[in-house]
Chains A and B, each alone.
Chain A
Amino acid sequence: MTNDDDDIGGSGYSLADLSDYLDRGRQPAIPAIDSNPECQAMLASLDRVAGLSRELVARDAAEAPPVDESWVGALLSSIGRELRAGRDIPFAASDPGTRLTITEGAVRELVRAAGDSVEGVLVGTCSIEGDVTEPGAEVTVALTISIVLSAPVTQLAQAVRDRVRTELLKHTELQVGAIDVTVADVHLWLAEEDR
């Protein structure tokens, strides 16, 4: 490194010092740097090349070929061995020698599919609260949804509640109490060509 980099514009500060200063958001202010034109020019350059670096990653990503589907498939099948099954939810067995259960993970799947089936709704998180392992115990279902602003929010939320209740009644023996729906997000329809 040359002396130029150790003492920029006679300010007594090195390039490394200026870098630190920039990283700290130029706080607390150092007058010897702030009033020195060469330091100011160097800070502007550092800022500019940092911004360019982030642009470079964005460009590399945009120009990359689409992700290989077989790679995604391999990845998903390797995580598939680690699915989140959650608790076992029993069905009342007609034959005392058998035990039939459905996993909490499968019930969540059911809730998501029911919510997603409402036009303009996507389900986010979904939880089943209460003792699901105890047949007949009342449980509460809580879900967050993202909506397209196509219909009144209350109408969409009610439609989600109705579908979820119907599906749970059809496929489980859970005593479903409240179904709490929270609108957590808004999304846009995809453009036609993206579908």
Chain B
Amino acid sequence: MGALEAASDGLLAARAADGDSVAFGVLVRRLAPALRAYAARLTGSSADADDAVQEALIAAWGALPGLDDPGKVRSWLFSIVSRKATDRIRARRPTVELDAERDEDTAAGPEQRAVASSRLDALAAVLDGLPDGQRQCWVLKEMGGFSYEEIAEQLGMSVTTVRGKLARARVSVVREMEAWR
């Protein structure tokens, strides 16, 4: 093994597509922390994030031979994780009505965020304080790079709803990050 640690993501993906599970393991160790971090921001739950990442990686192994450009394996994995994570979000949907109400108020006050020690901590606090639907739209858009249409499809919402949630999320984030310019 060992030497494979030096290989590019693309080479590891190409070998995994050919059936090399050792190369897949190296790729998993390399990318799992970022995939989990993304899924945790998206679902707001580290348990859901772990499950989504695990499911996504198992699905990815099966789908790898069909991946046209192994060099794009990283963004491809992020999109599979997004789908697995949003499947979980949709499955626990009964909270959706509550969410609609919460959309109207801004969550925790800015004074609580003044104690954040860095811009990134401040942003994390702002995101944690957003209503779930807004946060999910934000994460899929800004961290996942998906279009409104893709987000709407993944979250089972209309494009208009996504656009509205994203606009409200942006108002909150921009306002509350003003101090951290």
Contact = CB atoms under 8 A, between A and B. Distances in A.
B58 A79 contact: yes
Interface stretch (B10-18, B85-93, B94-102): B10-18
Given A82-B62, A125-B18, A72 B173 contact: no
A124 B17 CA distance: 10
- Interface bin, chain B: 35 or more
B116 interface: no
A49 B177 contact: yes
B114 to A, nearest CB: 17
A contact patch SS: helix
Interface of B: 2-8, 10-11, 14-15, 17-21, 24-25, 28-29, 32-34, 36-38, 40-41, 54, 57-58, 61-62, 65, 70, 119-120, 123-124, 127, 138-139, 142-143, 147, 163-164, 166-168, 170-171, 173-174, 177-178, 181
Interface of A: 1, 5, 14-16, 19-20, 23, 42, 45-46, 48-50, 52-62, 64, 66-67, 71-72, 75-76, 78-80, 82-86, 105, 108-109, 112, 116, 122-127, 144, 146, 148, 184-185, 187-190, 194-195
Given A1-B168, A16-B166, 5 more contacts: A49-B174, A108-B18, A108-B20, A127-B18, A188-B6
24 contacts: A1-B167, A16-B163, A16-B167, A19-B170, A48-B181, A53-B138, A53-B142, A56-B120, A56-B124, A57-B41, A57-B143, A64-B33, A67-B33, A86-B19, A108-B20, A112-B18, A124-B11, A146-B7, A146-B8, A146-B11, A185-B7, A185-B10, A188-B6, A190-B6
